[in-house]
Amino acid sequence: MKECCICGRKSVDEEFCEYHQAAHINLKSVFEIWVNANRGVTWEEYIRQVYELEETGQWVKEIIENIMSQNGP
Protein backbone atom coordinates (compact mmCIF):
# COMPACT_ATOMS: atom_id res chain seq x y z
CA MET A 1 0.00 0.00 0.00
CA LYS A 2 1.37 3.39 -0.99
CA GLU A 3 1.09 6.28 1.42
CA CYS A 4 0.48 9.97 0.90
CA CYS A 5 3.82 11.76 0.85
CA ILE A 6 2.36 14.50 3.07
CA CYS A 7 0.23 12.83 5.74
CA GLY A 8 0.84 9.09 5.46
CA ARG A 9 -2.78 8.17 4.69
CA LYS A 10 -3.43 5.55 2.01
CA SER A 11 -2.68 7.17 -1.36
CA VAL A 12 -5.08 7.09 -4.29
CA ASP A 13 -2.31 7.74 -6.79
CA GLU A 14 1.48 7.71 -6.66
CA GLU A 15 1.72 10.68 -4.31
CA PHE A 16 -1.39 11.80 -2.45
CA CYS A 17 -4.31 10.64 -0.36
CA GLU A 18 -7.80 11.56 -1.55
CA TYR A 19 -7.74 14.84 0.42
CA HIS A 20 -4.37 16.09 -0.77
CA GLN A 21 -5.09 14.90 -4.30
CA ALA A 22 -8.33 16.93 -4.37
CA ALA A 23 -6.46 19.96 -3.00
CA HIS A 24 -3.76 19.56 -5.66
CA ILE A 25 -6.31 19.26 -8.47
CA ASN A 26 -8.16 22.34 -7.22
CA LEU A 27 -4.95 24.34 -6.91
CA LYS A 28 -3.94 23.48 -10.49
CA SER A 29 -7.41 24.03 -11.95
CA VAL A 30 -7.74 27.55 -10.54
CA PHE A 31 -4.28 28.60 -11.78
CA GLU A 32 -5.47 29.47 -15.31
CA ILE A 33 -8.28 31.61 -13.92
CA TRP A 34 -5.79 33.33 -11.60
CA VAL A 35 -3.39 33.99 -14.50
CA ASN A 36 -6.14 35.65 -16.53
CA ALA A 37 -7.29 37.74 -13.57
CA ASN A 38 -3.78 38.73 -12.52
CA ARG A 39 -2.20 39.35 -15.91
CA GLY A 40 0.24 36.51 -16.31
CA VAL A 41 1.20 35.71 -12.75
CA THR A 42 3.72 32.84 -12.62
CA TRP A 43 3.03 29.50 -10.95
CA GLU A 44 5.46 30.39 -8.15
CA GLU A 45 3.80 33.77 -7.57
CA TYR A 46 0.39 32.12 -7.66
CA ILE A 47 1.13 29.50 -5.03
CA ARG A 48 2.76 32.08 -2.75
CA GLN A 49 -0.29 34.34 -3.06
CA VAL A 50 -2.72 31.48 -2.44
CA TYR A 51 -0.66 30.32 0.55
CA GLU A 52 -0.89 33.77 2.13
CA LEU A 53 -4.68 33.96 1.83
CA GLU A 54 -6.48 33.56 5.13
CA GLU A 55 -9.18 31.54 3.36
CA THR A 56 -6.77 28.90 2.05
CA GLY A 57 -7.44 25.54 3.64
CA GLN A 58 -4.91 23.39 5.46
CA TRP A 59 -4.72 20.68 2.78
CA VAL A 60 -3.99 23.24 0.05
CA LYS A 61 -1.35 24.85 2.26
CA GLU A 62 0.24 21.44 2.79
CA ILE A 63 0.27 20.84 -0.98
CA ILE A 64 1.92 24.24 -1.51
CA GLU A 65 4.50 23.50 1.19
CA ASN A 66 5.23 20.19 -0.54
CA ILE A 67 5.63 21.91 -3.94
CA MET A 68 7.86 24.62 -2.48
CA SER A 69 10.05 22.08 -0.67
CA GLN A 70 10.59 20.22 -3.94
CA ASN A 71 11.33 23.38 -5.94
CA GLY A 72 13.33 25.23 -3.31
CA PRO A 73 12.70 28.77 -2.02
The per-residue pLDDT for range 8-62, each reduced to its tens digit, is 999 998 899 999 999 999 999 999 888 888 888 899 999 999 999 999 999 999 9
User: Would 43 be classed as within a structural domain?
Assistant: yes
Query: Is 3 a member of any domain?
Result: no
- Does a structural domain hold residue 53? yes
Task: Provide the residue range defining the domain that includes 54.
Answer: 18-71
- How long is the chain? 73
Report if residue 55 sits inside a domain: yes
Distance between alpha carbon 9 and the CA centroid of its chain, in Å? 17
Q: Is residue 11 part of a domain?
A: no
Q: Structurally, how many domains does the chain consist of?
A: 1
Asked if residue 5 lies in contact with residue 15, where contact means CB atoms within 8 angstroms, the answer is yes
In a domain, 44, yes or no: yes
Amino acid 61: pLDDT: 97
Task: Kindly state whether residue 1 falls inside one of the protein's structural domains.
Answer: no
